[in-house]
Structure 1
């Protein structure tokens, strides 16, 4: 089965889905039915074929969240192309790398991003630039207007034969450790992953799922959104940039959203609103969250305020199944510190440095296996061989499997702090610091130390209008952490650097603050 099936169901040859059923809704109000989404996808597909795009060719998408984004993605899927979904936050040189590395033949881009493409429009493999000129934006002279796609025929009769093992999407990992690698998704990966979620969470035609992240990322499209479309439900799409939790809560009320994906920092913002109890969230059944472990106080606070809302913590990664593990709401009280158990059709193991499984309760590297694990990185045979071994994806994340099969995430192997012969796991320290009522966000990193190898540095974001001193923090954590785990350095920022999936880019913080030794606190 191929991804185009999700929309083909409205056509006469299948007719298993009503064409007038609402498929997509922007938070600003615009909606498309399944019939209109399918028609748009067919038009765009024919236009891309007219541009010479053939099975296996790469088509870049560099766009903000929109209904058209979905249409372009499905158009590429229907003609056997490979959608290269590109982070719109990237700068010119980063875009240059991805377009050249992927060999993209066509690029659909937002007019607001033209300035970044202008210096490189003649030094990439791209043959056709197609500009989405939203909000009166201008199409540059070196690009074509969006009407190029709109004028395609609405009947798609030049469709190639597509196998489930054919690639559909090239996703460049957002990178917590450096330069991105392209994970190559197949139709099989995509359909299986959508089906796994639908089966696990009982999505159906009444499901209204909201995605709050950027559509170039699996956490916004493959997580929840495509699963809801497979189930015949409605997907609500948030806008790009300037995330505002109050607006999201208003949309939940207006659209009667039943399921929503919120990254941890969004949940923290929500729970720290002084009037959070005034919002009517009766329709909301489930919040899904991943990227980083949820701090335990947030789990308790959410249950206290909205006991009818189930919090599903998830763990995964682009190449190793975006949701490989999930924690059922029923287990949140007793196992809320864990990421849960493997999703349907997914296996998880924890191994040592030699690749051998460790005993229950011991820390090791998390490995995942299943139909949503990709098989390769694009043009990276060495990285592929290192990461994908005998069908298992070696994630680079540390974790613990307990005797009942629940997985606890301990952080990245590269994030673990080695201090004075002791292993320190940042999430344990972060869990204590975030409980301070003046702290909005926190990241804990290790910085070099000549005596202890590394010591703990806490990077703090204060709540708006609040401030907190090092002395106040140290007083707060006294008695809550062992002495060797306490921060010896502090950095105060307005915000933490994050990837598209909400993960803190700790490699950037380590590089920026590696010379803080002289400012360290002595205990």
Structure 2
């Protein structure tokens, strides 16, 4: 049957790990941390309340919450009763939220009061029977405050037997390629994901991991925080919204963070920041993990110059593929700076052609992943299962190639590739070069229609602070580093790039805005 997530706090109660149960377990920002004993007490209190509310094994419980320590305790509690946590994106509009709630059909929904008005507008169209507000329930009639819902302490008896095969988490895709899909994960998936990262990155009870993303995403929870929890270290989540590097680093310093997750654009801001930013980096920091977009080669030089002793880990992941599939550690990066590394332990990667055959060394194809962390399937989407999960392999939709040494290099999303004058063009390659220019802080490239070449590139660039970006100079600079057909025809200077909660550029938004243009060269 295997182990379930109950292990995380049960082991503390049984004094199995060599860790003080009064040691910090979880914290939100600068708030005081909950100890391991306090986390266990909260988990059991919430689990008993869910059980008393009629939640049974296999039922769904919705979480519409900003980052908070209650989120982690509730997630563990949902797992203890054998239910499935529906981790809802609080940025969703009412129609999007309605779809996810109608599709997953939770009986209990725990929400932050600020979302009460949105829920009030759709409650007649969903089957939720119990609304629980984390705070004042006045924003939604009939909602029960969480403190009242789970007022009584509980022991660990009387809960169902939960196995590694039982599902525990449901995360919905952003829906950029059509109707959102809920990826389902088991207890075994979760423990595997946490354990493999802990093994690769030496995460243990002394580790203090801090992430910058939302807990409803894999990047905000499964990466770094989950391995810290499974290893009985300390997991720090950052408050949702209004992210600044200054605040993030202040939190890291308060809690003595050893490992942090920064998305590439955050990392770029850090390394191009002034000395005041660098001085805020805590002395305890040993590792920065990044992912979501490609890290540019210049980052390694800047990190060695400005933060000696701090290592960078570049990771590749997709939600369905199990959080982290490959990683490039600092000591193996030289000569492979443009790579996203090699597979994690007990993880297989292959790159295939459209007919399913494996590509040759250096040939671009679709990246496929096989591991114990791969999703057990989509919720109520057998059609999507058949297209994505084939013979045990998760087909990512990402393009990449593997070199002779086994290092994987990303080429972009299959849908992002465009053909210009009969040549395949991969935006990720161009973006990597673009952000190496000293006046470019961020960049994205999309394919747009062209009367002569069918498609050409359009580059959206964000200028570094204080620079006056010269488009013609930039065009010539690219021409010295890329084949002519790869140099974008159109350039737009923009204030920022649209990104999702995981830090990935929303290419669909860019295509909607710029995808039909064939004339304007700049937009300042």
TM-score category (smaller protein): over 0.9
Q: TM-score, normalised by structure 2?
A: 0.95
What is the aligned partner in structure 2 of residue 485 from structure 1?
486
SS in 2 for 1:348: strand
Q: How does 1:27-176 map to 2 (within 5 A)?
A: 27-133=29-135, 138-176=138-176
Instruction: Provide the residue aligned with 1:270 in structure 2.
Output: 270
Alpha carbons 1:121, 1:142 under 8 Å: kept:
no
1:178 and 1:244 map into 2 onto residues whose CA distance is 32
Q: Secondary structure at the match of 1:334?
A: coil
- Partner residue of 1:245? 245
3-state SS of paired residue (2:13): coil
Q: Distance in 2 between matches of 1:51 and 1:355?
A: 48
Paired residue total: 519
Counterparts in 2 of 1:426 and 1:392: CA distance versus 1, 3 Å: same
> Structure 1 residues 515 and 294 mapped into 2: Cα distance closer, same or farther (>3 Å)?
same
**Is the 2:315–2:326 contact (alpha carbons within 8 Å) kept by the matching residues of 1?**
yes
Deviations 1:355-408 (CA, angstroms, capped at 9, x unpaired): 111111111110000100112111110110011011000101011111111101
The whole-number CA distance in structure 1 between the counterparts of 2:462 and 2:93 is 25
1:301 to 2:302 alignment? yes
Shift of the alpha carbon at 1:266?
0.8
Q: Does 1:414 align with 2:409?
A: no
TM-superposed deviation, 1:147:
1.9
For residue 476 of structure 1, report the CA deviation from its aligned partner. 3.5
Answer yes or no: is the 8 Å Cα contact 2:316–2:325 preserved in 1.
Answer: yes
Q: Is the 8 A contact 2:19 2:205 kept in 1?
A: no
Q: Which residue of 2 aligns with 1:473?
A: 474
3-state secondary structure, aligned to 2:266: helix
1:308-348 C-alpha deviation (Å, 9 max, x unpaired): 11111110111112100011211111211101110011000
Where does 1:71-470 land on structure 2 (aligned, <5 Å)?
71-133=73-135, 138-275=138-275, 276-470=277-471
Aligned-partner SS, 2:124? coil
Does the 8 Å CA contact 2:111/2:132 hold for their aligned counterparts? yes
Distance 1:15 1:511 in 2: 52
Root mean square deviation, CA, Å: 1.8
Query: In the TM superposition, what is the alpha-carbon distance from 1:12 to its structure 2 partner?
Result: 4.5
Secondary structure (helix, strand or coil) at the match of 2:204 reads: coil
The Cα shift of 1:487 comes to 1.5
CA contact (8 A) 1:419 1:455 kept: yes
Residues 165, 186 of structure 1: 8 Å contact kept: yes
SS in 1 for 2:121: helix
Note if contact 2:443-2:462 (Cα within 8 Å) is conserved in structure 1: yes
Q: CA-to-partner distance for each residue in 1:26-57, whole Å, 9 max, x for gaps?
A: 22232100110110011111111111110000
CA contact (8 A) 2:119 2:140 kept: no
How far has the Cα of 1:280 moved from its partner? 4.5
Gap regions ≥5 residues in structure 2: none
Shift of 1:498: 1.3
Contact 1:43 1:156 (C-alpha < 8 Å) held by counterparts: no
Q: 2:114 touches 2:139 (CA, 8 Å); kept in 1? A: no
SS of 1:219's equivalent in the other structure is helix
Query: Structure 1 pair 141/149, CA: closer, same or farther in 2 (3 Å)?
Result: same
Provide the C-alpha distance between the structure 2 equivalents of 1:417 and 1:43, rounded to a whole number of angstroms.
53
Tell me how far 1:495 sits from its aligned partner. Answer: 1.9
Q: Which residue of 2 aligns with 1:19?
A: 21
TM-score normalised over the length of structure 1: 0.96
Residues 449-502 of structure 1, C-alpha deviations (whole Å, 9 max, x = no match): 232121100112223454424334324434222221112112233221212211
Distance in 1 (alpha carbons) for counterparts of 2:154 and 2:17: 17
SS at match of 1:83: strand
Worse-matched range after superposition: 327-336 or 431-440: 431-440
Q: Distance in 2 between matches of 1:327 and 1:473?
A: 30
CA deviation vs aligned residue, 1:420-459 (integer Å, no higher than 9, x gap): 0111111121122212333221110001123212110011
Shift in Å, 1:192: 0.8
Contact kept, 8 Å, 1:45 with 1:156, in 2: the verdict is no
In the alignment, is the contact (CA less than 8 A) between 1:42 and 1:152 conserved in 2? Answer: no
Decide whether the 8 Å contact of 1:47 with 1:153 is kept in 2: no
The residue number in structure 2 matching 1:508 is: 509
SS class of match (1:461): strand
